[in-house]
RNA sequence: GGCGCCAUAGUGCAACGGUUAGCACGGCAGGCUUUCAAUCUGCAGAUCCGGGUUCGAUUCCCGGUGGCGCUACCA
C-alpha cells in the first residue's frame, strides 16, 4: 500500500430519491475521507437509460447538502463518459478477456417479473449461467456473426480455474472460487455499459483507493476485482457496510413509508439529528456515546468499527434524536426552521423577522421543550401564531366538563382585565384568588383556560402562555370560548 | 435452486476467553405539577439451537435454523 491520501466516492444512481441507506453510505464515505485527510467525490451512475430520471439528480444533491454531506469533487456523470467504457470493453475484447455474446437478453427484466416466474427462471438459469455458448465460438464464427450485423453484448471471460480474493475493511479478507462467478455482461448490445464495467473503469480513472458501499455489492465484488486485474489496475480496498432494513426486516422500500431523506426534511427533522441517528446505524464509537457532533463523528469513525449486521430503521429513536437537537439548538438557528414551518402552514407574519423578533424567539423557546418535530410549531402550537385554530376534542371533553366554568371564566376575564400589569405573577394571582373565592381548585380554572386560549390540553405552563399571547388575545379567546364551554 | 454474509432485550449499539451481560430508544408502573408530548424515579426485557475446543465460552470451531444479499444486456 502506498502512502497516497485516500480517495473515496459516493455513487448514487438517479432512479429514485436519496434514500436513507444511500445517505448513510454517503455519510460513512464522508467521515472516512475527513478522518483520513482524503478526498470525497460524487459520481452519478446514470447508465440505465430505462430507469433513469435525470430530473431527480438535483434532489439527490440537495438532500446530501441538507445532511451536511459536501463533496470535494464532482458530481461526475457516467452518461458523459460512455466512450471510456466502450474503449475499455474493446480493449478487453482484443485482449481476449471478453467475448461477444449474441444471445438474446433475458426476458425477465424487472425484479417483480423474476419473482413471479420462478419456474421459468429455474429452467432458464442453467443456460444463462456458467457457460454462455458464445464463449466457445471460434474467431471465424464471431467475425461472421458480427459481419452479419447481429447485435451482441460483450461478456467478461471469467477464468475457470483459481480464485479471486480482496480485502474488505469491514468483512475481512474475502476469497471466492472463480468457478462460482459467471461470465457477466460488460457492454450491452446497445453500447451502454453495465454497472460492473462503468464502476470499475471510473474507480480506476478517478483514482479511488477505498470503495465504501452497501453490503448488497459484496457478492459482486469478485467480478469487479477480476475486471481491475484484466484492465491492469490494482483493486482498491473495499468496505461494505451493512444494509438498513425496515421494521419487518426486509430491505427498506417505499412500502415502509418515508424512505427518502427529503421526506424526513419535510417532516421536520433537523439535519444534525438525522445524521446522528444515521451514523449509529451500523456503527458505534465503541462506547455508550450516542450524541455526537460532526467533528466527533469524524474523529472517531473508522471502517473496521463498522458492524457487519444489518440494522433496522427505528423511527421512534430518530424522533428522540430530533428532540435532543431541537432542545439544544441555539435559538437563532432554530428560528429559520420555525419560519419555514409557519410559512408552509400559511401562518407566517413578516413582523416576526422585524419588530416582533424578540417575541418570536421567546415564544419558540417556551414551546420547544414540548416539540418533537419542526412541524409541531405549526400544528399543535398553532394557536400561538394565529387566531385560526380549533379546540381539541379530547381536551374539551376533559377540561370543560364542569358546569360552573362559564360563570367562573367570566369572572376570570373581569379579574384579568383589572390586572395592574400583564405579567406572569399578576395573571397567576388573578386566577388563584378567583379560585379561592369560588372555593374550587386552581387547576380547574387553569386547565379550562388553557384549552380556551390554545385549544389543547398540552401546552406550556399557563401563565407563561398568557404572557406570550398578550392580554387582548387571551381575554378575547376566553370570551369566544364561553358558548362552547357552556354547551360542553 | 446455487453461492455468500449475518445472528446480544421489540429496536440501535457495548462487553482483551473470566462482569450480577452494560447503555440508549421504545414499553410498563409510579412521583411531581397546572396539562403532558415536559420532567423525575422505578420495573420488565437478550447472548437463535445443538455439538465441540477450553479450567471457563456472548466471544473460537463445526453443524442446524433463521434473516438478508447476490445469482439482470439494474445499480
The C1' atom of B74 and the CA atom of A302 lie apart, in whole Å, by 30
- Boundary residue ending a domain (A167, A187, A207): A187
Q: What cell numbers appear for A352 in the block?
A: 416576526
- Rounded to an integer, what distance in angstroms lies between the CA atom of residue A192 and that of residue A188? 5
Residues A374 and A398 in one domain: no
- Rounded to an integer, what distance in angstroms lies between the CA atom of residue A84 and that of residue A100? 18
Give me the mean pLDDT over the A344-363 stretch.
95
Evaluate if residue A327 carries a pLDDT over 60: yes
Evaluate if residue A2 carries a pLDDT over 90: no
User: Using CA of residue A338, residue A340, residue A343, residue A344, what is the dihedral sign?
Assistant: negative
Query: What CATH number does the domain containing A179 carry?
Result: 3.90.800.10
Residues 6+ apart with CB under 8 A from A268: A322, A337, A341, A373, A374, A375, A376
Residues A69 and A36 in one domain: yes
Q: Which member of A5, A65, A254, A401 is catalytic?
A: A254
Chain B nucleotides near the protein (CB, 7 A): 1-8, 10-15, 22-26, 34-39, 67-75
Which of A467, A447, A465, A466 lies closest to A457, judged by CA?
A: A447
Where do we find the cell 467480478? A223
Predicted confidence at residue A201, as pLDDT, reads 97
Domain that holds residue A348: 329-384
Residues A1 and A69 in one domain: yes
Predicted confidence at residue A128, as pLDDT, reads 41
Give me the mean pLDDT over the A311-328 stretch.
96
With distances taken from each CA to the C1' atom of nucleotide B39, the closest residue turns out to be: A369
- Boundary residue ending a domain (A363, A384, A405): A384
pLDDT band for position A50 (cuts 50, 70, 90): confident
Q: Of chain A residues 171-190, which have a beta carbon within 7 Å of strand B? A: 171-172, 174, 176, 180, 182, 184-185, 188-190
Active site residue A254: yes
Query: What CATH number does the domain containing A426 carry?
Result: 1.10.10.350
Structural contact between residues A399 and A449, judged by C-beta atoms closer than 8 angstroms = no
Q: What cell numbers appear for A143 in the block?
A: 467475425
Asked if A109 CB < 7 A from strand B, the reply is yes
Give me the mean pLDDT over the A106-125 stretch.
41
A454: number of Cβ within 10 Å: 26
Give me the mean pLDDT over the A221-235 stretch.
96
Q: What cell numbers appear for A148 in the block?
A: 452479419
Give me the mean pLDDT over the A298-316 stretch.
95
Asked if A269 CB < 7 A from strand B, the reply is no
Q: Of the ranges A1-5, A33-37, A134-138, A197-201, which one carries the lowest mean pLDDT score? A: A1-5
Residues A125 and A136 in one domain: yes
Evaluate if residue A374 carries a pLDDT over 60: yes
| Closest nt by CA–C1' to A399 | B35
Give me the mean pLDDT over the A350-366 stretch.
95
Predicted confidence at residue A110, as pLDDT, reads 41
Q: Which of A14-18, A140-144, A451-455 has the highest mean pLDDT?
A: A451-455
Structural contact between residues A334 and A367, judged by C-beta atoms closer than 8 angstroms = no
Q: Which residues pair with A173 in a beta bridge?
A: A167
Question: How many domains are contained in chain A?
Answer: 4
Query: What CATH number does the domain containing A269 carry?
Result: 3.40.50.620
Evaluate if residue A125 carries a pLDDT over 50: no
Residues A178 and A265 in one domain: no
Residue A207 lies in a domain: no
Residues A34 and A52 in one domain: yes
The C1' atom of B9 and the CA atom of A264 lie apart, in whole Å, by 28
Q: What's chain A's average pLDDT?
A: 90
Question: Does A456 or A3 have the greater pLDDT score?
Answer: A456
Asked if A454 CB < 7 A from strand B, the reply is no
Which of A181, A171, A165, A196 lies closest to A88, judged by CA?
A: A196
- Boundary residue ending a domain (A287, A313, A328): A328
| Closest nt by CA–C1' to A14 | B75
pLDDT band for position A192 (cuts 50, 70, 90): very high
Give me the mean pLDDT over the A200-222 stretch.
96
Residues A264 and A278 in one domain: yes
Residues A156 and A168 in one domain: yes
Evaluate if residue A454 carries a pLDDT over 70: yes
Q: What are phi and psi of A313, to 5 degrees?
A: -70, 120
Predicted confidence at residue A131, as pLDDT, reads 65
With distances taken from each CA to the C1' atom of nucleotide B69, the closest residue turns out to be: A216
Asked if A52 CB < 7 A from strand B, the reply is no
Residues A162 and A108 in one domain: yes
Predicted confidence at residue A134, as pLDDT, reads 87
Residues A182 and A89 in one domain: yes
Residue A210 lies in a domain: no
pLDDT band for position A116 (cuts 50, 70, 90): very low
- Rounded to an integer, what distance in angstroms lies between the CA atom of residue A366 and that of residue A100? 70
Structural contact between residues A37 and A30, judged by C-beta atoms closer than 8 angstroms = no
Question: Between helices A405-417 and A471-486, what is the axis angle to 10°?
Answer: 170
- Rounded to an integer, what distance in angstroms lies between the CA atom of residue A410 and that of residue A417? 11
Kindly state the helix (H) or strand (E) to which residue A239 belongs, with its residue range.
strand A237-241
Amino acid at each position: 500500500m502506498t502512502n497516497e491520501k485516500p480517495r473515496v466516492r459516493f455513487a448514487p444512481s438517479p432512479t429514485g430519491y436519496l434514500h436513507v441507506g444511500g445517505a448513510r453510505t454517503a455519510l460513512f464515505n464522508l467521515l472516512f475521507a475527513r478522518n483520513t485527510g482524503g478526498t470525497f467525490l460524487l459520481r452519478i451512475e446514470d447508465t440505465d437509460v430505462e430507469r433513469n430520471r435525470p430530473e431527480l439528480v438535483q434532489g439527490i444533491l440537495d438532500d446530501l447538502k441538507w445532511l451536511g454531506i459536501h463533496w470535494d469533487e464532482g458530481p461526475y456523470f457516467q452518461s458523459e463518459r460512455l466512450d471510456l467504457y466502450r474503449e475499455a470493453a474493446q480493449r478487453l475484447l482484443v485482449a481476449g478477456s471478453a467475448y461477444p455474446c449474441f444471445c438474446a437478453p433475458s426476458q425477465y427484466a424487472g425484479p417483480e417479473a423474476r419473482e413471479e416466474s420462478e419456474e421459468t427462471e429455474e429452467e432458464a438459469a442453467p443456460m444463462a449461467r456458467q457457460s454462455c455458448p458464445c464463449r466457445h465460438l471460434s474467431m471465424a464464427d464471431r467475425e461472421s456473426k458480427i459481419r452479419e450485423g447481429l447485435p451482441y453484448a460483450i461478456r467478461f471471460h471469467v477464468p475457470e480455474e483459481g480464485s479471486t480474493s480482496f480485502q474488505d475493511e469491514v468483512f475481512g479478507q474475502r476469497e471466492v472460487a472463480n468457478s462460482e462467478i459467471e461470465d457477466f455482461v460488460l457492454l450491452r448490445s446497445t453500447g451502454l455499459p453495465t454497472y460492473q464495467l462503468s464502476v470499475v473503469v471510473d474507480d480506476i480513472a478517478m483514482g479511488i483507493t477505498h470503495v465504501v458501499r452497501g453490503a448488497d455489492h459484496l457478492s459482486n465484488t469478485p467480478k469487479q476485482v477480476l475486471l481491475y486485474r484484466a484492465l491492469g489496475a490494482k483493486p482498491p480496498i473495499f468496505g461494505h457496510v451493512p444494509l438498513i432494513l425496515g421494521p419487518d426486516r426486509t430491505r427498506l422500500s417505499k412500502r415502509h413509508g418515508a424512505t427518502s431523506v427529503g421526506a424526513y426534511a419535510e417532516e421536520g427533522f433537523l439535519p444534525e439529528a438525522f445524521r446522528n441517528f444515521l451514523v449509529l446505524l451500523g456503527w458505534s464509537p465503541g462506547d455508550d456515546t450516542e450524541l455526537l457532533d460532526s467533528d466527533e463523528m469524524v474523529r472517531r469513525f473508522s471502517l473496521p468499527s463498522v458492524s457487519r449486521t444489518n440494522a433496522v430503521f427505528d423511527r421512534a429513536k430518530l424522533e428522540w434524536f430530533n428532540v435532543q437537537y431541537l432542545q439544544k439548538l441555539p435559538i437563532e438557528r432554530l428560528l429559520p426552521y420555525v419560519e419555514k414551518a409557519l410559512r408552509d402552514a400559511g401562518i407566517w407574519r413578516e413582523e416576526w423577522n422585524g419588530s416582533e423578533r424578540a417575541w418570536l424567539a421567546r415564544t419558540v423557546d417556551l414551546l420547544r421543550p414540548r416539540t418533537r418535530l419542526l412541524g409541531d410549531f405549526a400544528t399543535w402550537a398553532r394557536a400561538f401564531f394565529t387566531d385560526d385554530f380549533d379546540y381539541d376534542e379530547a381536551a374539551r371533553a376533559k377540561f370543560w366538563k364542569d358546569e360552573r366554568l362559564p360563570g367562573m371564566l367570566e369572572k376570570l376575564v373581569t379579574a384579568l382585565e383589572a390586572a395592574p400589569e400583564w405579567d406572569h405573577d399578576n395573571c397567576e394571582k388573578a386566577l388563584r384568588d378567583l379560585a379561592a373565592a369560588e372555593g374550587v381548585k386552581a387547576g380547574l380554572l387553569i386547565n379550562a383556560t388553557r384549552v380556551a386560549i390554545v385549544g389543547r390540553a398540552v401546552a406550556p405552563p399557563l401563565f407563561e402562555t398568557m404572557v406570550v399571547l398578550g392580554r387582548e388575545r387571551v381575554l378575547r379567546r376566553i370570551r369566544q370560548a364561553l358558548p362552547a364551554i357552556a354547551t360542553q
